[in-house]
Structure 1
Amino acid sequence: MKTSELTDVVTRVLTTTNLPAAAVADGLAGALRDSHAAVVVAPPGAGKSTLLPLSLLRSYGSGRIVMLEPRRIAARQVAARMAALLGERVGESVGYQVRFERKVSAATRIEVVTEGVLARRLADDPTLEGVSCVVFDEFHERSLQSDLTLCMVRQVRDVLRPDLDIVVMSATIDTAALCRELGASVVSCEGRMFPVSVVQAREDAPVTAIAEAVAAAVVSAHSRHEGDILAFLPGQGDIERCAALLGDSLAPTRVCPLYGNMTMERQAEAIAPSPTGSRKVVLATPVAETSLTIEGVRVVVDSGYCRRLVYDAATGLSHLATVRISHDMATQRTGRAGRVAAGVSYRLWTTATDARMEEQRQPEILDADLTPMVLTLAAFGESDPAALPWLTAPPEAVLRRATDELRLLGAIDSDGTITPLGRRMEAMPCHPRIAKMIVHAADDARKALACDIAAIIEEKDVMSADEVHADLLPRVAALRDARRGHRLGPWRRVARVADEYCRMAHVRSDDSFVGADDIGALVAVAYPERVAMAVDHNGTYRLAGGATVHLDGADSLTGYDWIAVASLHAGGRGAGRVFLAAAVTKSDVEALASWTDNLTWITHQGGVVARRELRIGQLVIDSRPLTDVGDDRLTALVCEAVAREGRSLLDWNDEVRTLQLRVALVARWHPDLGLPDLSTDHLLATAGSWLPLYLHADGHIITTVTALRRLPLTQILWNILPYEAQQTVDRLAPARIRVPSGSMVRLDYRVGSDVPVLSVRLQECFGLAATPCVDDGRVPVLMELLSPGFKPVQLTTDLASFWQEAYFEVRKELRRRYPKHYWPDDPLQAEATRGVRRKK
């Protein structure tokens, strides 16, 4: 259709429709002319997803519009609806592209895509040549891909394409914050909603019996109300169980499941209007919350739950969790009942639970694996994701982990720049791990096998884990048997995904028999940190990443020393559970490992441990002694160990502590002297500056705990002081004092005290008239006078007063207890004595 004809058709559609969005089409065009950005707020059923993109065709001449939908089902339906309004088939003026499916032609002016498609296109063509406008539909869902794509489009507009228009559309979103970020105008649209009454449950639907609760509510609503029923359940398993519970009990009303993994034919059946006089019950995941129009729905049954992929940054693993929805999700679901007439919404949770629910769903970027995002940005040319204009900044720790993972896979280099391998990986519409497995495969047979493994890992497990446990081999064999015999059955979707991967890898699918080791080798390439070594023979394994995982004891894989794990649950604080894995040979593990010099200090092993180890992550495959270690590396390692554990590695005896206290006391008395800090904390923190001089012994570096504890620490610390400082410390704070008996008695310097203690037997002090002093006579010591049995009898700093007063009382007691000792009447004139000696 020519541009002029297309404009006429669009104008006719807008003037003949009674949908509210048509009334704001001109306002949207004006907002884009003024600021190149607009935020459209319109309730469900207003026609924003179909009419507004069509209306923009009148503004861009031959320029194309790319419209993003968060789900494949919605992308197909929105494109089909717009094409029908133009009187065309999909793929002409309006087309779509989703993963593994593309209906676009040279004449296409509006292309509806899922978010990952546009992100990959931006990586290949950052200018978006030929694109005039990018429309983000249902942005309130805040998926990781929508946040990433909006961030990339903003960067393109800010740096390369100031003329590029951005439209963000939603039914529930914080418009003020979004407009500030985008510099956008708000375009509001009134909805065409009928009233919906909300019925709150008296009890919460238990998370362990969601299907049962929904089935009971559907049966009750079916008997009370007319029209079709739309029931929301968390996931495919819940839907299938609920459908089985309902069976034919509502006949002739049809029960139609609706989830992403269904065939297009079955999806279309669930979405299509019911024939006149008939009814249906649609059991849907959140795919039916927005964008999708299911005509005839009058009743909504809302379980109040959804399935969300939760990423554990500590382990690098993700798992699906069933979680409570937020208020904005509940509002979206309720609105599905009021599109054609007044309706009712049954909410299977209590008023009390409703009061505790979050107002808005959390952006997925805060709780997701960011590895694919970082690779896309690297292909886009951005090595620093944190510097981009995010609406919600990604967590730094998760970004770092994603970057490390991509380096491990060889997708980016140390600077964050994408490698040629990474470029090939990014071109594949899958997780970088899966892409690495496919592009790394050495030949066509292995590439075909990698495609089969990828499809099995990504899709719902067809086989019962109770029967085949975690082993991938029987699953690959069953898929190939089904293809070989042309009896795909439950393997149909897995086979289709595998075929798409084969097409992208330029190989044909292969149905030949395959060995377990071939599977394990490919899985190990994709998940090198999940290569696991047996800890025991009961199914316990240790991952290369460090975590412990467990296989069922009856699993055939438990007999292997090495396995490669493709899917597992993190397991919280305990051992994780392996869901999918394959045996891998030691030689295949060695091919992924690298030799590393492991030079560490391990105290309980006696000191320096020097080994050359063949490692994959934290697993040691082989080890041999490391002999060619330079003295500098050994010295640095020992100093680091002392800085970390030096309180137990060095001999901090009483003599050392006394020296530290003496120096510290002189430093307090005379700060002007600038004495070095010999405190333990400071010495350990600065071990690298003083210890290396003393680590050489007999031509070798000291590397053992025993040798370190033999170091003469007192002498080492004394040598830290300059000679002048040594002389000063000895003078002002001597280690010992000579008493009249001739003994050199040690002074006791105590923590926190400015007065040292002289503990000496009283008899050795006869003839000593005054208290000894330190600090050049300024500080008298505290004398602790002892009995012949070394028991304290008196504390004093005034020895002269003691001789005059207290001595005679003390003498009475000492003469009674020690009668053989000498207790003179005049101690100042008596001769000091050390032993039992009487004066003649």
Structure 2
Amino acid sequence: MKSLPIDGVLPQLLNALRERRNAVLVAQPGAGKTTRVPLALLKETWLAGQRIIMLEPRRLAARSAARYMAAELGEQPGGTVGYRVRMDTKVGPSTRIEVVTEGVLTRMLQEDPALEGVGAVLFDEYHERHLHSDLGLALCLQTQSLLRDDLRLLIMSATIEAEPVAELLGDAPVIESTGRQYPVETRYRPLGPGKRLEEGAAAAALEAVREGDVLVFLPGMAEMRRTDTELRRLGLPDGVKVAFLHGSLPLQAQDEAIAPCGPGERKIVLSTSIAESSLTVEGITAVVDSGRMRVPRFSPRTGMTRLETVAVSRASADQRRGRAGRLGPGICFRLWSQQQQLQLPASGTPELLEADLAPLTLELAVWGVHDPLELAWLDPPPQGAYAQARELLRSLGALDESGRVTPHGRRMAALGGHPRLAHMALASAPLGWGDAACELAALLGERDLLRGERSADIRLRLEALRAWTRGGAASGRTSEPGFAAAAAKTAAEARQWRRALAQQLGASGSAAVGGPATDASPASPASDAPDASIAPDVSAGFAAPVAHAASAASVAPAASRASASPGASAASAADAAAGADGSGASMARAASAEPPWGLLLALAYPDRIAQRRPDGRFLLANGRGAALAHLQPLSQAAYLAAAELDDSGTESRIDLAAPVSIEELEEAMETRFQTEETVEWDREAGAVRGRRRVKLGALVIREVPLHRMNPDEVADALLDGIRQEGIGLLPWSRGARQLQERIIAMHSVNGTYPDVSDEALSANVGQWLAPFVHGMKSREDLRRLPLTDALESMLDWPQRRELDEQMPTHITVPSGSRVPVDYSDPAAPAVAVRLQEMFGMRQTPRLGGGRLPLTLHLLSPARRPVQVTRDLESFWSSVYFEVKKDLKGRYPKHYWPDDPLSAIPTSRAKPRT
């Protein structure tokens, strides 16, 4: 066994785990922690013959690590060292080290919370912070605290900040290994203006392949295919092959990508971040890093997850760079500038903080946790996303109204996969379409088989898959590069779903699954199936689909109520979801050979049932808008069930969907439909209208007029209409408006008077107007509303009397004339009066008990304004004499005394003698 850097700290690590239950190991890439540490722990006395479980974030890394350790012992996987990953398990009676992917540990803990027979759990590459690794650690810490104080936990990583992790583990010791890293030269090659990512990646790869094998990091499969095309356009040197490394590829294709080249050959491996850590791609001497990666982002606002292409962190960039220096000196081409390097985030965001939490929430409910804060987390789950997930699970019948897991929910968790897909499979079995649901779940869990297909119709993908499955013949879209491999992987995934579903349905599972079988798969690689000599772990769980999470429907299905009762089974929950009246059975009997794909999607995504609007766009059951990207046959469907939506804009784009009839939905999902009677203000009609509606979430399926309406509800709706349209809807006479203004003016000096501004009247319309609108229901009826009486009703009798005294409608001026008061500006009531009528009045009249002076608009004999004042005394003593000169010249026959305070006021040209 060759020496590795980790060997230098193994004694320190072993001693730490003898004295303490937990430890943190920080070891640089290439140190050998993944393969040396588990083998070293096997000899420890505290292990006492128990097994070691080591978590790897990816299947490829798990299988690679197990094979390497088995080879070190001179064995094959399934002996002392084995592995459990999705669709591939090799463990046996003598297995002591099990390398598993993260979801497998969750299943093991749910089946046996005490982890009997397990002495240590190792979390490798923990810095990647996948959702299931955080969940697994939280569950293991509780197991250690409550049930197994002898259980050892070891966190291993290359780039993690060790102190917070050590604190979470009870101030665990931290052991560091420097690793063995050969020098790597870094060259920055930023993309020029207008230059595409694949052009820069291909050019750098062709330059680097002259010296050895090249690993190219790209965001996803689309960029990988475009880079492959660009490489072939530029011209590959003789003896150079291109390989893909992507999580959606079959395991055999992944193994070929990391295998060493034959004599005289070189390779360019196009990979996502799957090759960033945990495994060594044999022969790599150069790395080309695009600096981009694709991550799922969940929005609690919309309840949907979408993939976003983001810049890598500095930690990830260093990990990628290190791939070139694992086996010898290397070179790294970075397709960005040194300035951009400084702007990269230090580390990535944990998946737990940005992912759809429905799978985690279901696992916590099965574990018995209602509040995630009951467990210890490095970063607790966000409350918004967690609450959204609970609503979804309640909608699917996995949780009861109190938030406890139902029997149906337990079967969903045991079945694996995303809760939506698990519910679909379980609910479809009583309908006779369990087999088709498994096929659909497998298709939704993988990448789109028909990349670039303009139509969003998922039936095209299913037809292509079934055509390939029946004969393996390559024709049309099925002959495109990569289709056969993707179809083989999807078919294998469907078989895994069927096995798991049959196991959950019990002895009658095979019959209950029903539907046309599609297991015959001539082109499926043998490596996709577990070794027949090793017991398969069909409950190991499935990866959650990336872009298929959404908010819960507002109406809980019958499955929720049925499965919440003691002893209820998943089958009964599915029966309830299919229709409590036995309609599910009739559907199964009458079903044609073609499965109702839209209905199956609706079972998984009830909140994404879409109704076509008159303009061709769609409304989803969750209330959001959606639209197809372009005109296509699906555009004519009255109803769709959408499986995949892009929520990047104000309106979601429908990427995958199938048509569904309202009759199918009503028969199979009867309890999701609600009938409501509404009495509402119809703005267009200008009247209250009653309607009886059948609704599915936010969708109005049918609507008929309601002729007999409750009078109180009519009055409430009319008042609501006034709120909506404003009090301008009321019949404002001149007297009513003046009364309102007088009360407002009084309110400004005496706060005991009500606020009757337009805004206040509109906000409190139900309090002051309700007694006056009974028997009315339209804009026409409101014309006979006694609005003055309604306003006066807001005042008691003393207030009415005081209002007349202190805010009168008219005042009497010295000439004896009664002049109306203008309250249009309640803060400054005004009167317009001829100057001559005010002779003899020294002080400005005041209202509101002397607290509000009148604004006097003094007029000429022709009633033209000559002065505006609120200080009459000052006007007489100064301004009057200037005004007098002007008026006397224009109106010489009128009376213009030298002393206005002693003069006789008059409404005529001259006072009577």
TM superposition score category, shorter chain reference: 0.7 to 0.9
2:749 pairs with one of 657, 666, 669: 666
CA distance in 1, matches of 2:144, 2:721: 53
In the alignment, what sits opposite 1:572?
649
Deviations 1:693-715 (A, max 9, x none): 53542xx4x55566668655554
CA distance in 2, matches of 1:166, 1:599: 62
2:496 pairs with one of 495, 500, 522: 500
In the alignment, what sits opposite 1:691?
768
CA contact (8 A) 2:184 2:322 kept: no
CA distance in 1, matches of 2:725, 2:303: 31
Q: Which amino acid aligns with 1:498?
A: A
- After superposition, residues 463-478 of structure 1 pair within 5 angstroms as 463=450, 465-466=452-453, 469-478=455-464
**Secondary structure at 2:663 match in 1:** helix
Q: Which amino acid aligns with 2:743?
A: Q
Deviations 1:13-32 (A, max 9, x none): xxx65223233334334444
- Which segments of 5 or more consecutive residues in structure 2 lack a partner in the other structure? 475-483, 503-512, 519-590
Deviations 1:760-789 (A, max 9, x none): 233444565654344556766443322344
Measured after TM superposition, the shift of residue 332 of structure 1 is: 1.0
In the alignment, what sits opposite 2:39?
54
2:609 pairs with one of 531, 539, 544: 531
1:618 pairs with one of 698, 703, 723: 698
1:760 pairs with one of 833, 851, 854: 833
In the alignment, what sits opposite 1:236?
221
- After superposition, residues 645-660 of structure 1 pair within 5 angstroms as 646=726, 648=728, 654-660=737-743
CA contact (8 A) 1:46 1:189 kept: no
CA distance in 2, matches of 1:303, 1:392: 29
Instruction: Tell me if 1:586 matches 2:586.
Output: no
Deviations 1:156-201 (A, max 9, x none): 4455555543322110011122223332324333244243222323
Equivalent residues, number: 810
Measured after TM superposition, the shift of residue 502 of structure 1 is: 1.7
TM-score (normalised: structure 1): 0.85
In the alignment, what sits opposite 2:544?
none
CA distance in 1, matches of 2:724, 2:830: 33
**Secondary structure at 2:447 match in 1:** coil
Q: Which amino acid aligns with 2:693?
A: E
2:442 pairs with one of 455, 462, 474: 455
In the alignment, what sits opposite 1:12?
none
In the alignment, what sits opposite 2:204?
217
Alignment CA distance shift 1:186-1:777 (3 Å): closer
CA distance in 1, matches of 2:325, 2:216: 14
Instruction: Tell me if 1:261 matches 2:248.
Output: yes
- After superposition, residues 69-468 of structure 1 pair within 5 angstroms as 69-158=56-145, 161-204=148-191, 209-223=196-210, 225-226=211-212, 228-243=213-228, 246=231, 249-274=236-261, 279-385=266-372, 388-443=375-430, 445-463=432-450, 465-466=452-453
Alignment CA distance shift 1:158-1:832 (3 Å): farther
- After superposition, residues 806-817 of structure 1 pair within 5 angstroms as 810=883, 813-814=886-887, 817=890
Deviations 1:99-144 (A, max 9, x none): 2333334544333222222234444544444444332211111222
Instruction: Tell me if 1:722 matches 2:796.
Output: yes
**419-428 or 603-612, larger mean C-alpha shift:** 603-612
Percent sequence identity over aligned pairs:
40
CA distance in 2, matches of 1:361, 1:145: 16
CA distance in 1, matches of 2:329, 2:28: 16
CA distance in 1, matches of 2:728, 2:86: 61
CA contact (8 A) 1:140 1:170 kept: yes
CA distance in 2, matches of 1:677, 1:705: 25
Measured after TM superposition, the shift of residue 96 of structure 1 is: 2.2
**241-250 or 557-566, larger mean C-alpha shift:** 241-250
CA contact (8 A) 2:727 2:761 kept: no
CA contact (8 A) 1:656 1:713 kept: no
Q: Which amino acid aligns with 2:35?
A: T
**Secondary structure at 2:793 match in 1:** helix
1:545 pairs with one of 622, 636, 643: 622
Measured after TM superposition, the shift of residue 254 of structure 1 is: 4.4
**Secondary structure at 1:328 match in 2:** helix
CA distance in 2, matches of 1:661, 1:345: 77
**277-286 or 806-815, larger mean C-alpha shift:** 806-815
CA distance in 2, matches of 1:557, 1:634: 41
RMSD after superposition:
3.8
Alignment CA distance shift 1:194-1:771 (3 Å): closer
Measured after TM superposition, the shift of residue 315 of structure 1 is: 3.5
Alignment CA distance shift 1:794-1:441 (3 Å): same
Alignment CA distance shift 1:203-1:830 (3 Å): closer
In the alignment, what sits opposite 1:5?
none
**Secondary structure at 1:611 match in 2:** strand
In the alignment, what sits opposite 1:65?
52
Deviations 1:592-647 (A, max 9, x none): 43323445556455365543322223322111234676566566666666667655
Deviations 1:441-480 (A, max 9, x none): 15474111112222222223333654x7222333323333
**Secondary structure at 2:750 match in 1:** helix
CA distance in 2, matches of 1:603, 1:387: 51
CA distance in 2, matches of 1:254, 1:102: 30
CA contact (8 A) 2:215 2:271 kept: yes
Instruction: Tell me if 1:39 matches 2:24.
Output: yes
CA distance in 2, matches of 1:434, 1:148: 21
In the alignment, what sits opposite 1:9?
none
Measured after TM superposition, the shift of residue 685 of structure 1 is: 5.0
Alignment CA distance shift 1:571-1:813 (3 Å): same
Measured after TM superposition, the shift of residue 725 of structure 1 is: 3.7
CA contact (8 A) 1:214 1:303 kept: yes
CA contact (8 A) 1:481 1:511 kept: no
2:638 pairs with one of 551, 561, 580: 561
Alignment CA distance shift 1:547-1:798 (3 Å): closer
In the alignment, what sits opposite 2:550?
none
CA distance in 1, matches of 2:195, 2:624: 28
**Secondary structure at 2:293 match in 1:** strand
TM-score (normalised: structure 2): 0.79
Q: Which amino acid aligns with 2:810?
A: R
Measured after TM superposition, the shift of residue 73 of structure 1 is: 0.8
Alignment CA distance shift 1:627-1:504 (3 Å): farther
CA distance in 2, matches of 1:805, 1:277: 113
Measured after TM superposition, the shift of residue 583 of structure 1 is: 1.8
CA distance in 2, matches of 1:56, 1:636: 75
CA contact (8 A) 1:40 1:170 kept: yes
Higher relative CO (CA 8 A, sep ≥ 6), structure 1 or 2? 2
Measured after TM superposition, the shift of residue 255 of structure 1 is: 3.6
CA contact (8 A) 2:394 2:401 kept: yes
Measured after TM superposition, the shift of residue 43 of structure 1 is: 0.8
CA distance in 1, matches of 2:330, 2:103: 36
CA distance in 1, matches of 2:773, 2:59: 70
CA distance in 1, matches of 2:257, 2:264: 17
**517-526 or 311-320, larger mean C-alpha shift:** 311-320
Deviations 1:714-763 (A, max 9, x none): 5444433333344444444444322345443333457685x743332334
Instruction: Tell me if 1:520 matches 2:505.
Output: no
CA contact (8 A) 1:383 1:415 kept: no
In the alignment, what sits opposite 2:812?
738
CA contact (8 A) 1:196 1:345 kept: no
